[in-house]
Structures are given as structure tokens and as C-alpha cells.
Chains A and B, each alone.
Chain A
Amino acid sequence: MSNRTLPRLLQTPAVVLLLIWMLVPLSMTIYFSLIRYVLNSLRRPEWTTPSLSNWRGLGNYEYVLNAKDFWFAIQNSVFIVTSILVLTVVLGLAIAVLVNRSFPGRGVVRVLLISPFFVMPAVNAVLWINMILDPVLGLQGIAVGGINDLVNGLRDFPVLGWFFSLWPELQPISFRATQTSAYAVVMMVTWQWTPFAVLIFMTSLQSEDESQKEAATLDGASPWSQFINLTVPHLARPIAIVVMIQSIFHLSLYAEIEIVSRGNGNKNLPYLIGEFTSNNIGAASATGIFAVILANIIAIFLLRMVGKSLMD
């Protein structure tokens, strides 16, 4: 027995289990995507049992490619994910640097900052869309109504009134509309995930070399140039990790999209799969394969990026 055989043997069960874990669902999805398979059909009952006699080749893929919102869903996935990434990284950096100083009540502030991350996604969406963004009964509606009333009242004053009479009446924005629903999702997910970025950045800021900073201060470097030249490079690795983990999670957003607008003006590939699964499993599987491909393309870029920053 060579000295490599034993470790390999010991690894085998885990590797085999992982392979089964991944390969069985994947190959079933590929199989379903190549045949006609629907849950229920009055016209073609033979399609309701998966079998090779319902072979369809690439027909499901063609159907999905031509489906109403396929390209829109891909574009929108990329839009949502990149917006959330940029916003959470920028906000996360700013907040992490701010709370890194010591000030009274720092512990409480940190706990409060992290708490949005522990809200369930569906609850987060319901809370935002109904209580904050609703144009009539939500905070937004009440605020817009309040400002309008205030401006109306001020119009009666002699000189000030002329100035305020130029003000337009504010209209509340519906965040469930086709034009705005994607922004609502970006907003609520950013609120939820910024704490995650803050958490990661905060822990790695604590390992920043203070003597380096002192030297920079002695050399007369401004706080901004310290931030750009010392802190940001120091955080390159955590940023890469935040970006990677978040992309994995946000490519599969579902609850928020469902609750905000039911796919009106805002869709991604998982949502499209959900729409097909009401009956057409073949098309749903084909969409799933497209989603796997998209995720892999993004993963290759990310792994290169992260790999690079981890090698340095």
C-alpha cells in the first residue's frame, strides 16, 4: 500500500456522496429537459409520465429561448445582482470604517446594524412593500401626504406662500409597477445584505496594521488617501468573498420577486422556472440548465477574481 492509498480510501465515501448529491439531480434535470414531460395534459396524456419515448431533443431549449421573458429574465438577473453587489460593498465599506472607531454604545450600534440580516427574506419583502413603500397606507404614502399638506398650509403665508405655490404636488410612487419593481427588490435586498458586508469588513478591519497607519499619518497622508491606499487593498480579499457569496445567493432570489410584483417588470431565471413548474416540467428543466450555465459563467469569473486575491 503506497502512502497515498489510505488517505484516498478515507476520502472516498465523502467524495462519492458529494458526487451522488450533485450528479443525480443534475442528470435527472438534463434528462427531463430533453423529453416531453408535463404534470397534466388532457390532449396528450402520454406526456405525463417521463419516458424516453417522449424524446424531444433540444425542443424544450428552443421553446424556452423563445419564451416571452427569457432574455428579459437574464438581463434583469444581471441588473439586480450587480446593483445589489455595488450598493452593499460601497455601503458596507463606509459603515464598517465608521463603526470601527471606538465610541460610546458601539456594541449596541453594531448589534442593531447586523440585525436586518436575520430577518427572513419573505418577511423582509412583506415589511418593505406593505409597510414602507405602499403608496397609500405605507410610510411612503403617509409621508407624501404629510408633505403635501404641509406645503398646502405654507401657501397661505404672504411671502413664503408665493415660493411654495411654485412647488408641485408630490405624487407617491408605486413600487409594484412594471417600471419600478426591480428597484424595490434591489432596495430591500441591499438593506438586508449590507449588514453581511459590514460584518465581514469589520472583522478584517480589526486585523489592519495600525503601525502602518501611524507611519502614514506621520508622513502627512490624508485620511482619504489612507483609506484608498491602505484600507481598501487590505480589504481586497473580504470584498472578493462578499461579492462571491452574495452573487451565489442573489442569482436565486425568489421570495422578494414573488411578493413585490409577481414577475411584473421584474423576473430572473429561478422565477421563470417557477412559472413553468405549474405544469411544464420539461421547459422548467431546460430553464434550470440555462440557469446552471449562467451561474457557471459568473462563477468562473468570480473564482478567478477571488483566486487571484487569495494567491497574492
Chain B
Amino acid sequence: MKSLLNSALGLTLGVAGASFALADGHAKELTIAIVNNGHMINMQKVAEAYTEETGVKLNWVSLEEGVLREQVTSDTATGGGQYDIINIGMQEAPIWGAAGWIEPLEFGAEYDVDDMLPAMRNGLSHEGTLYAAPFYGESSMVMYRKDLTDAAGVNIADNDSWDNVKAAAAAIHDPDNGVYGACLRGKPGWGDNMAFVTTVVNSFGGAWFDADYKPTLESDEWKAAINFYVDLLGTYGPPGSEGNSFNEILALYNEGKCGMWIDATIAASFLEVDGVAYAQSPNAGNPVGANWLWAWAMAVPAGTENTAEAKAFIEWATSKEYIKAVADHPEFGWGSVPTGTRASTYAYSEFQAAAPFAAAEMAAIESAAPEATDIKPYVGVQFAAIPEFPEVGSAVAQEIAAALSGAKSVDEALAASQAAADAIMKEAGYY
């Protein structure tokens, strides 16, 4: 018994000693929470060179988008300090910066912050201060099967009208042979179906809130947009669309089941079917357009003790050298570089050759305007950069999915959405 006690005591002391040595030694460690998207997964390999060079050990925590958001929000809001670097999106960056949850970022001249695409920089800043550095950025566009549209004798133009797009979907819709006219997001979630639905609403001239932050979900624009969306996806979409988001549709598309897909530009680099062509998102006449704007960015939570090391890593991971490092990496190449962040990336001819979608992507990103306008008081294209938006967005997302399932009419779903959104905004003290 005594020897057991002794060894237990020794073990405890040993462990305590070890952790003490770790905290004290100069071999620094950074814990990085990332979203489990392709580019971020690749970063883990590319960053091995960074560890060799600087001796900073990197611990990766790779999480699914929704889980990441939950984990990172609670850790950051309570100053938990579990992570040194976090992956956040464009919805969070400005409001978290305003709340003081994340550190402002300033980089050296070599970093060339002016090379960053202006839409990205604006979307990740609060009152002119950059709070998160974009790792990769995206907009949305139409990806359609040129072979199918040619065979059907239809055409999809840049910024086409929604009516033309619907006619094209009808022409290529052939469910008996397993091809569905239009694959669109339907899975409930403010970052899932609502990302696409909001771009449709934007293109019809609608917005989430009016100038007093009262929700406007029962407006004529919303009704027209949702009716159009439910009709298009319900008639020419694959069965089970209410469960489809990016990954599900990507699988369908690569199985050759989709004639047309309107989604994130990043999807273009994962498409494996032949005959894909790109067009700028359709528009119903609104000058702001129907492209969304999103970035996965890296930020330093205020609770970490390794601020300097964390900033240094972000500076490296979002730099021009990083893009080159991915391009030169034996396992990757120009086709796998993170896009949508820097103008210089698009200037490489090797990149243009490896990414046929590059021009369309750059045009889509440049045309997206996240700033507040006369139509909407909030920052953000397919979301509103306010802390209450995830709650509002999720509630509405479920109603839209119910309308798509046919469990509710569009009017019923929008009435329920409006009531829920109104309650949340009132609760949050907006009016």
C-alpha cells in the first residue's frame, strides 16, 4: 500500500514537473482551432515547414463548421484561453472585434496589406481596424454543365435573369436519367440554406432588417424571392433537397446528378465532372447583385498568453509566401492554393492555368459589397454582422426548409419567421 502511495505521489509530482517544464521552456506551442475544409486541412502539412524554421510547435484542433463556431464562441466569450488562434468567418470578425474578444492585427510592410482584396479587408474590419486575416475567401457563382445546356439548346449568361435560369433548369431537368435541373442549398442553417436564400432575396431587392433593425421578412421582396426559390428547387431540384448543403451537393454534382449549382466559388476547385462552365450569379435587377461574400479568417482571441507568436503565425499563414509554399509543396500545387484573399494570387499565370474558374471567382468577389447601404443598415451580404443574427438566421432557416418540404405554405413560413425574428430582436433590446 505504501509503495503504491509513493509511486502515485511520484507520478503526480512528475506530471506536475513535466507541465511546469513545458510552460517554462522556450519551445512555444500554439493551439489552433480550424474548420475542417480542404484548404485548412492542407495547411497542417504546409505548416510543418514553419515548425522546422521557427521551432514553434502547432497543435491543430479541426472541427466541423457548426461545432467550431460553438466551441470558439463559448471559449472566446468567457476568455477561456483554450486556443491561441481561431478560425472565424466574416459574420463574427467585425462584431467580435467590436466586443474586444479578438486582438487587432497589424503586420509589417512585407505583408503588403494593400494586396488583400478590398471586399475581404472591409468585411473583416471594424471601424477601419483589421481584426482577422483572411485565409481563403469566396463568393458565389453558377456552375453549370455546358454539355447539358448545349444539348438542350439553352444558354446561361453572366448575371442572367432568374426567369432564364429557371427556364434553363427546366430544359436540362431529366430525373428519369438521374439529372436534376438545379441543385441548391436547402439544409437549415444561417450559413447553409440562408446563405443562398439571402442572395436571392438581395437580388429581389429585399433585406433582413429595415433601418430600425425591425425584421422585414413579410415584405413583397421576401415573398417573391422565397416563392421563386421554393418553386425552382421544389420542381427542378433533387429529392431530399431540404437536407442538402455544400458537401451533399458536391457529392451529387460529382456523381453527375446536377445540371446546375449556384454555390461558393471554392466548389469549382473540387468539381470532377467534365463540361463545367461558370457564370456570375443571376440577378433580378438589384445593383448590389446576388453574389455572396465569405472568408474563413484567422484571429487571435484576447484570452491567449501567446499573442506575439500567434500573430507571427497568422502573418505567415496569410502571406504571399504561404501561397507560394502551397504551390511548391510536393503534395499540392497551384490548383490547391487558397484563393480569394490576395490580388497577387490571381496574377500568377500558373494559377490561372490551374484554376479555370479564377477569373469568374475574382469578378464575383469584387462585385460583392458587404457595406451597409440604403437598403440595409447592417454589414454583410448573405448575413447581418450583428450578434443576434445566428439565432434569427437559424429560426428562419427552419421555416424556409419547412416551406421547401411542403409542410407549410411560403406565406405561413414567412409569417412564423417574422414573428420569431421580431421576438428575438425585441428581446435583444433593439426596440
Q: How far in angstroms is the closest Cβ of chain A from B358?
A: 30
Residue A165 lies at the interface, judged by CB distance under 8 Å to chain B: no
Residue B391 lies at the interface, judged by CB distance under 8 Å to chain A: yes
- B394, A275: Cβ atoms closer than 8 Å: yes
Instruction: Please classify how large the interface on chain B is, using the bins under 10, 10 to 19, 20 to 34, 35 or more.
Output: 35 or more
- A263, B74: Cβ atoms closer than 8 Å: no
- Complex Cα distance, B387 from A44, in Å, reads 11
- A40, B407: Cβ atoms closer than 8 Å: no
A interface size (C-beta, 8 A): 44
**Interface residue from B240, B255, B402 paired with A178 (Cβ < 8 Å):** B402
- Complex Cα distance, B96 from A43, in Å, reads 14
- A276, B77: Cβ atoms closer than 8 Å: no
Residue B401 lies at the interface, judged by CB distance under 8 Å to chain A: yes
- B251, A39: Cβ atoms closer than 8 Å: no
- Complex Cα distance, B251 from A130, in Å, reads 11
Of all chain B residues, which has the CB nearest A48?
B99
- B402, A264: Cβ atoms closer than 8 Å: yes
Q: How far in angstroms is the closest Cβ of chain A from B345?
A: 33
- Complex Cα distance, B377 from A43, in Å, reads 14
Residue B252 lies at the interface, judged by CB distance under 8 Å to chain A: yes
Residue B189 lies at the interface, judged by CB distance under 8 Å to chain A: yes
- B240, A134: Cβ atoms closer than 8 Å: yes
- B255, A137: Cβ atoms closer than 8 Å: yes
- A277, B408: Cβ atoms closer than 8 Å: no
Q: Known contacts A44-B429, A174-B243, A177-B242; is A278 also within 8 Å of B73 by CB?
A: yes
Among B108-116, B146-154, B318-326, B419-427, the stretch in contact with A: B419-427
Q: How far in angstroms is the closest Cβ of chain A from B405?
A: 4
- B394, A177: Cβ atoms closer than 8 Å: no
- Complex Cα distance, B239 from A44, in Å, reads 44
- A42, B387: Cβ atoms closer than 8 Å: yes
Chain A residues whose C-beta falls within 8 Å of the C-beta of B310 in the assembled complex: none
- Complex Cα distance, B213 from A244, in Å, reads 47
Q: How far in angstroms is the closest Cβ of chain A from B159?
A: 30
Extra pairs beyond A67-B420, A136-B238, A172-B240 (12, CB < 8 Å): A39-B73, A48-B99, A63-B427, A137-B255, A176-B240, A176-B242, A178-B401, A178-B402, A262-B192, A277-B74, A279-B391, A280-B427
Q: Which 10 A-B pairs have the closest CB atoms?
A: A176-B243, A178-B407, A174-B240, A177-B405, A40-B387, A135-B240, A135-B239, A178-B405, A39-B77, A264-B401
Interface residues of B (CB under 8 A from A): 66, 69-70, 73-74, 77, 95-96, 98-99, 101, 178, 187-189, 192, 238-243, 248, 251-252, 255, 257, 386-388, 390-391, 394-395, 397-398, 401-402, 405-408, 416, 419-420, 423, 427-430
